[in-house]
Amino acid sequence: MSKKSASTTGTQRQAKLGDQIRNIANRLKQETEVQIKATSRILGAAAQISENHERLINEVVDMVEEDLNQQTQMYQKDIYTVDILKQQFQTLRKAKDHFQIKATSWESLANKLNDSSSQKITPKTKPQLDQVLESNDMGNFEDDCKNLEGLTVHLEADVAEIFPNSQAVNEALRFLIRVTKKNSYLNS
């Protein structure tokens, strides 16, 4: 082999080797770009999850605060004072017409309203631990369930300790329903 052909072959090998190195470098660059894009997408998804989680927590906190405020307002609505009645209704006649109660003064109206609201509130007793789901015909229970006005349910001892009455259980279940509905709305 001549020197010229040997140097040409060496140059060609170097060119092939250089091409291979450039190809490897380009592939590494492309893979790095893909990894950067994937990492960016993962971080974006994590940020979105965090934002949704924060929003859900804020909504739950807002719902709890709203429930507490409503409950406080309900208890405050049951207690009438002369000042509250005067603020709400400018005249005794308007107040009497609104409540459809006969009274000779603001004081007597407040007393009558407070007496009637205290009669509506019945003392709540602790639930009986032996309360059971009652139905004469268990076969038709599922069909009849929609027609029931109330339903007696057995509460385990640990649950009964936390929920002193049916109103507390119902409020907790309604809250859970609202959270579930809002969460499913956010996910759809």
Q: Is the dihedral of CA 122, 124, 129, 135 positive or negative?
A: positive
Q: What is the pLDDT of residue 122?
A: 39
Q: What is the pLDDT of residue 147?
A: 54
Top pLDDT among 44 and 129 is at 44
Last residue of some domain: 43, 76, 109?
76
Grade residue 120 by pLDDT with cuts at 50, 70 and 90: very low
Statement to judge: residues 132 and 101 lie in one domain: no
Averaged over 69-73, what is the pLDDT?
Answer: 72
Percent of the chain clearing pLDDT 70 (strictly above): 71
Burial tier of 19 (Cβ tally within 10 Å: 0-12, 13-18, 19+): exposed
Which tens digit of pLDDT belongs to each residue from 55-66? 888 888 888 888
Statement to judge: residues 92 and 55 lie in one domain: no
Statement to judge: residues 7 and 61 lie in one domain: yes
Grade residue 116 by pLDDT with cuts at 50, 70 and 90: low
Statement to judge: residues 55 and 16 lie in one domain: yes
Q: Is the dihedral of CA 137, 139, 140, 145 positive or negative?
A: positive
Statement to judge: residues 115 and 130 lie in one domain: no
- Mean pLDDT taken over the chain: 76
Statement to judge: residues 116 and 185 lie in one domain: no
Statement to judge: residues 53 and 108 lie in one domain: no
In terms of average pLDDT, the best of 4-18, 55-69, 100-114, 127-141 is 100-114
Structural domain span for residue 103? 79-120
Helix (H) or strand (E) holding 22: helix 3-77
Top pLDDT among 73 and 1 is at 73
Statement to judge: residues 115 and 51 lie in one domain: no
Averaged over 103-117, what is the pLDDT?
Answer: 84
Q: What is the pLDDT of residue 67?
A: 82
Q: What is the pLDDT of residue 180?
A: 82
Q: What is the pLDDT of residue 51?
A: 85
Last residue of some domain: 120, 153, 172?
120
Alpha helices in 78-145, H assignment, sequence order: 82-88, 92-99, 106-120, 141-144
Statement to judge: residues 31 and 65 lie in one domain: yes
Statement to judge: residues 96 and 150 lie in one domain: no
Which tens digit of pLDDT belongs to each residue from 127-169? 444 444 443 444 454 455 555 566 777 788 888 888 878 788 8
Statement to judge: residues 68 and 14 lie in one domain: yes
For the chain, how many structural domains are there in total?
Answer: 3
Q: How far apart are CA 126 and CA 129, in angstroms?
A: 9
Statement to judge: residues 97 and 109 lie in one domain: yes
Verdict on whether the full-model pTM lies above 0.85? no
